[in-house]
């Protein structure tokens, strides 16, 4: 029952769905990292849990960055495989992490520029629609003014005609 409700919630909110996908990816990446550490170590006893804990803290810090980038436009993924020559040739893990952050920031910057263009286009369109709205209001105001003038003329004519009718009826008696 709860899995159906959870699936329904995720299908209704694309951002939640995206966050869930990222969470699953992170868990999978952690699992693969643990397996690699276990395979690389000479004995399984040497594989300590401290690096894993440290990486989890880093992942939590990274999620804040990722989540803020997702709020910009959740259709794009900031996470990508950054395995270019510079990254492959680097042996220092800190530099690799910095390179990954650099690539992610560049991707976020690119996405923010695209979003800025989209927002500027939306702003232009809303300005055009507002101009059309103002023009329509002015036309409506002109029509109401014309209607009011015609109404005054008709009322004045009615009053004059009723006055003549009253005089005729008074004379006719």
Asked if residue 76 lies in contact with residue 109, where contact means CB atoms within 8 angstroms, the answer is: no
Taking 90 as the threshold, does the pLDDT of residue 20 lie above it?
no
Task: Name the residue with higher pLDDT: 11 or 31.
Answer: 31
Taking 60 as the threshold, does the pLDDT of residue 155 lie above it?
yes
Does some domain include residue 151? no
In the chain, the number of structural domains is 1
Does some domain include residue 96? yes
At residue 130, the pLDDT reads 96
Does some domain include residue 143? no
Taking 90 as the threshold, does the pLDDT of residue 17 lie above it?
no
Whole-structure pTM value: 0.35
Does some domain include residue 82? yes
- The pair of structure tokens assigned to 99 is 């390179």
Does some domain include residue 22? yes
Domain boundaries, position 30: 2-120
pLDDT tier, 168 (very low <50, low <70, confident <90, very high otherwise): confident
- Per-residue b or e along 55-94, where b marks 16 or more CB atoms closer than 10 Å to that residue's CB: beeeeeebeeebeebbeeebeeebbeebeeeeeeeeeeee
Helix (H) or strand (E) holding 140: helix 93-172
Does some domain include residue 101? yes
Does some domain include residue 134? no
- In this prediction, residues 15-30 reach a mean pLDDT of 85
């Amino acid at each position: 029952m709860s899995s159906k409700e959870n699936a329904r919630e995720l299908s209704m909110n694309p951002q939640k769905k995206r966050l869930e996908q990222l969470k699953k990816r992170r868990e999978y990446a952690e699992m693969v990292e643990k397996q690699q550490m276990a395979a690389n170590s000479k004995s399984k006893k040497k594989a300590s849990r401290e690096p894993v804990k440290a990486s989890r803290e880093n992942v939590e810090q990274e999620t804040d960055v990722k989540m803020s980038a997702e709020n910009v436009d959740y259709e794009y993924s900031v996470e990508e495989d950054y395995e270019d020559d510079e990254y492959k040739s680097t042996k220092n893990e800190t530099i690799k992490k910095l390179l990954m952050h650099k690539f992610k920031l560049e991707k976020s910057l690119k996405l923010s520029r695209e979003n800025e263009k989209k927002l500027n286009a939306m702003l232009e369109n809303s300005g055009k629609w507002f101009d059309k709205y103002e023009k329509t209001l002015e036309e409506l105001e002109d029509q109401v003014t014309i209607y009011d003038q015609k109404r005054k003329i008709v009322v004045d004519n009615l009053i004059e005609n009723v006055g003549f009718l009253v005089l005729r009826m008074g004379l006719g008696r």
